[in-house]
Structure 1
Amino acid sequence: MTDRKPPGVSFETWIDKQIREATERGEFDNLPGAGKPLPGEGRPDDEMWWIRQKMQAENLSFPLPGTLALRKEAEEARAAAVGARTEAEARKIIEDVNDKIRESHGKTLSGPPLIQSPLDAEEVVGEWRIRHPVTEKPAPEPPRAKRSFFQRIRRG
C-alpha cells in the first residue's frame, strides 16, 4: 500500500509519481495479458457482461423461466434423438423428455403459459430412420461348387 498524498501536492502529480516509481521497480513487467487488447473492447456496453462471461466460462446456458426452459429442452431432445446412434437410444431420449412434459402439465411453472405437447416418438424416430438409413451389406457370393479331382484335371 502507498503512503497518503502529501498536502499541497495535486492528485495528478502524486499519481504520476506513484506510477513512475512502480514502473522503475518493475511492478508492471510480465503482467498477464500485457500487449493484448482489453477483452470486450469495441463491443456495445452490456450491464450483465460479467454474468454472461461467467456462464460462458462455466459452459452454462442462460437461465430461462420454467416453461421456456422446458420448451428449449424439448427442442434439444429432439435434435439429440435424431442424432442418436441407435433407434432405441432415440426412443429413450424422447420418452424421457415426454415424461417431463407430462409431469409439468400438472404443475404451475414460471413464464408464459405452457403450450408444449409431448413429442411424437414415431415422427422423431422416422426422422432418425431417414438420417440413418439401413445399409444392407451386399449378399455374399455363393460358394463355388467343389469340383472333383477329375473335373479339375479335365478342365484345367
Structure 2
Amino acid sequence: MTERKPPHLSFESWVDKQVREATERGEFDNLPGEGKPLPDIDRPYDDLWWVRKKARQENVSCLPPALALRREAEDAIAAAHRAGSEAEVRRIVADINDRIRAALKRPTSGPPVTLMPFDADRVVAQWRDQRSG
C-alpha cells in the first residue's frame, strides 16, 4: 500500500477501498491467529503492554542480581534433574556453583546473595533416585 490518497477522496473512503481490495486479493487470508480471539482482550489497558510482551519474548529480566541468580539456580537444578547422564548433571551443577561463588565474592545491589553452592554428589543422588523411581 504505497500509493497516496487521491485528493478528491475522503480519507475514510480511501482506506475502505484499500482494505476491500486487499481482502479481494486474499491478502488477509491465513494470517496467524485467524478466527481466534484477540489475546488479552479482557485485561485492563496498559500503556506499556508492548514493552512487557517484548521483555517476555526476549526473556529479559529486571530482577535484582541476587533474585536473578536464585532463579538461574532453580532452573539449573531442574535441568540437572532432567539431564541424560551423571556427567551432564555434574557439569550443570559446576556451572551454577561457579556463578554462585562469583556472586558471593562481589558486592551486589539489592538483596544480598543468600545462596550457597550446591553439593554435586547430593544432586547426583537425587537424579539417580528420580531415574530409578
Q: CA separation in 1, counterparts of 2:13 and 2:108?
A: 59
Structure 1: any 5+ residue segments left out of the alignment? 7-13, 135-156
Cα distance in 1 between the residues matched to 2:125 and 2:99: 22
Say whether residues 1:42 and 2:42 are aligned partners. yes
Distance 1:86 1:104, change over 3 A: same
Mapped partners of 2:91, 2:42: distance in 1: 46
Aligned-partner Cα distance in 1 for 2:66–2:73: 11
Q: Report matched runs for 1:54-93 at 5 Å.
A: 54-57=54-57, 60-63=58-61, 64-93=63-92
Do the aligned partners of residues 66 and 5 (structure 1) sit closer, same or farther apart at CA in structure 2, a change above 3 Å counting? farther
Root-mean-square deviation (CA, aligned residues, Å) is 3.0
Aligned to 1:101: 100
2 CA distance for matches of 1:53 and 1:68? 21
Which structure 2 residues correspond to residues 117-136 of structure 1 after superposition, within 5 A? 117-133=116-132
Identity of aligned residues (%): 36
| Runs of 4 or more above 4 Å deviation | 3-6
**Larger relative contact order (CA 8 Å, sep ≥ 6):** 2
- Structure-2 change in CA distance of 1:103 and 1:23 (3 Å): closer
Aligned residues: 124
TM-score, normalised via structure 1 length: 0.62
Greater C-alpha Rg = 1
In 1, the alpha carbon distance for the partners of 2:123 and 2:83 equals 11
Are the equivalent residues in 1 in contact too, given 2:5–2:11 (CA < 8 A)? Answer: no
Deviation at 1:123, TM superposition (A): 2.1
Alpha carbons 2:66, 2:113 under 8 Å: kept: yes
Does structure 1 residue 22 correspond to structure 2 residue 25? no
